[in-house]
Structure 1
């Protein structure tokens, strides 16, 4: 068996000192940094990237989403001021993690990026609360809307497990887990896993 390749990232941030600090932390943790940018210039090359870590300011979110469209590269957004509208737009766009600059530490940066590489979706508690205020309510949500298997999968999603971790915990195939997640998103009228977790948490389903 060949050794697993270390995850590769591109780091984007408008402030050189912050950017280089992130790069140093991630390199020390074993990540491969493929490039750096400020305001997504130069344009990140996503072909070999596991994660594009970018600063969500101005039009950066839309540009980052377009860059990774059709690729397996996952997005991690850093934000300076996380307004409710900004959090909503970021999560709706399918970003896997939102990291506020305020309170971001080397340890939390590395832990969140590792979780994203593993397939998880991560949101800090305060941002999850903001997301709860905008997630669409559905009349069918409740104990009768989700079966026991769907609630189990959703509960493990809320704990930060990725598809493989859920499959191992519940002794399902990864394909089954993906199908269950799809059914959950459909029933809850949610576009992303983070939305589903937020809605189910607010409604007391998990």
Structure 2
């Protein structure tokens, strides 16, 4: 729940049956489906929208989705038919919070991933994390000061799929403290997203 209301989502996919299937699954899980589109047409209405699920069709589609969601609190979730190292890198670098391969997409994985994203977490399957590692190890590195024990603890819980509230409860921190720690970790690791930070920390062996 977002405050006292159910989370809102817009579903984009080139196939109407896929859109309707995702909508039915999410509605049963108490999501409110605001609308549907194919290749972002008609253009999604993102005002007060929590999640935009869009079909990744290359850089142009990704840039359009990022533009639509910029300046607001809308989180991006991408479905993808052809998973490559380049596509994973592009999506994570652009701030996509979850990547869902069509071949392995199920009702449970869709609902679980969107709930994680709404809670402020990321949802990146292990095989995609491996692809991302190849990229982030070339562009990011630990700062000379490294990570302190508190930062490592928060990163471990992020890697386990926990959201800000769950981390705060587990470590007995305030949610504000957790957010500040995450910010510091992203800065130290030269990462833009939590997914990148987890990938870097995993590769460097610090979690």
TM-score tier after normalising by the smaller chain length: over 0.9
| Cα distance, 1:104 vs structure 2 | 0.6
Question: Which runs of structure 2 are paired with 1:55-70 in the superposition (5 Å)?
Answer: 55-58=55-58, 59-70=60-71
Partner of residue 118, structure 2: 117
SS of equivalent to 1:54 = strand
Partner of residue 44, structure 1: 44
Q: Distance in 2 between matches of 1:165 and 1:38?
A: 35
Partner of residue 7, structure 1: 7
Provide the aligned length of Structure 1 versus Structure 2.
202
| Cα distance, 1:48 vs structure 2 | 2.0
| Cα distance, 1:49 vs structure 2 | 1.0
| Cα distance, 1:139 vs structure 2 | 5.6
SS of equivalent to 1:102 = helix
Q: Distance in 2 between matches of 1:65 and 1:124?
A: 21
SS of equivalent to 1:134 = helix
Partner of residue 35, structure 1: 35
The structure that is helix-richer by fraction is: 2
Partner of residue 178, structure 1: 179
Partner of residue 133, structure 1: 134
| Cα distance, 1:155 vs structure 2 | 0.7
| Cα distance, 1:137 vs structure 2 | 4.2
| Cα distance, 1:19 vs structure 2 | 1.0
Partner of residue 73, structure 1: 74
Q: Distance in 2 between matches of 1:145 and 1:54?
A: 36
The superposition leaves residues 111-166 of structure 1 with CA deviations (integer Å, 9 ceiling, x where unpaired) of 1111111111010111111001100342637xx50000000111111111111111
SS of equivalent to 1:99 = strand
Aligned 8 A contact 2:186 2:192 in 1: yes
Partner of residue 99, structure 1: 100
List structure 1 runs of 4+ shifted beyond 4 angstroms: none
Partner of residue 195, structure 1: 196
The superposition leaves residues 12-57 of structure 1 with CA deviations (integer Å, 9 ceiling, x where unpaired) of 0011111111111111111110000000011111112110000011
Partner of residue 90, structure 1: 91
Report the TM-score, using the length of structure 1 for normalisation.
0.94
| Cα distance, 1:169 vs structure 2 | 1.3
Q: Distance in 1 between matches of 2:81 and 2:189?
A: 30
Aligned 8 A contact 2:46 2:74 in 1: yes
- Which structure 2 residue ranges, 5 or more long, are not aligned? none
